[in-house]
Amino acid sequence: MLEATRYEKLFSTPVLRFRAPDHAALNAALLEEGARMRALSDGTHKSNRGGWHSEGNLFDGKPACLRRLRDLATEAVFAANDRIGATTPRAALDLKLFAWMNANPKGGFNAPHTHPGAHWSGVYYVAQPAVAPGNSGMIEFVDPRSDLPNWRILKAPPFRMKKKLRPQPGDLILFPSYLVHWVYPNEAEEERVSIAFNATFKPAKARK
Ligand SMILES: [Fe+2]
Cα of 1 from ligand 1 centre, angstroms? 49
Over residues 131-143, mean pLDDT: 88
Cα of 183 from ligand 1 centre, angstroms? 9
Instruction: Tell me, yes or no, if the pTM score tops 0.75.
Output: yes
pLDDT tens digits along 158-185: 899 999 999 999 999 999 999 999 999 9
Cα–Cα distance measured from residue 125 to residue 166, given in angstroms and rounded to the nearest whole number = 10
Q: What's the pLDDT score for residue 8?
A: 93
Q: Is residue 135 part of a domain?
A: yes
Over residues 39-48, mean pLDDT: 73
Strand order in the sheet with 48-49: 48-49, 109-113, 180-183, 139-142, 162-165
Q: Is residue 106 part of a domain?
A: yes
Range of the domain at 195: 17-203
Which CATH number belongs to the domain containing residue 46 in this structure?
A: 2.60.120.620
Q: Is residue 1 part of a domain?
A: no
Over residues 194-208, mean pLDDT: 89
Q: Is residue 91 part of a domain?
A: yes
pLDDT band at 71 (very low <50, low <70, confident <90, very high): very high
Cα of 2 from ligand 1 centre, angstroms? 46
Q: What's the pLDDT score for residue 1?
A: 92
Q: Is residue 7 part of a domain?
A: no
Region label for 43, one of left (φ > 0), alpha (ψ between -120 and 50) or beta (otherwise): left
How many domains would you assign to the chain?
1
Cα of 154 from ligand 1 centre, angstroms? 30
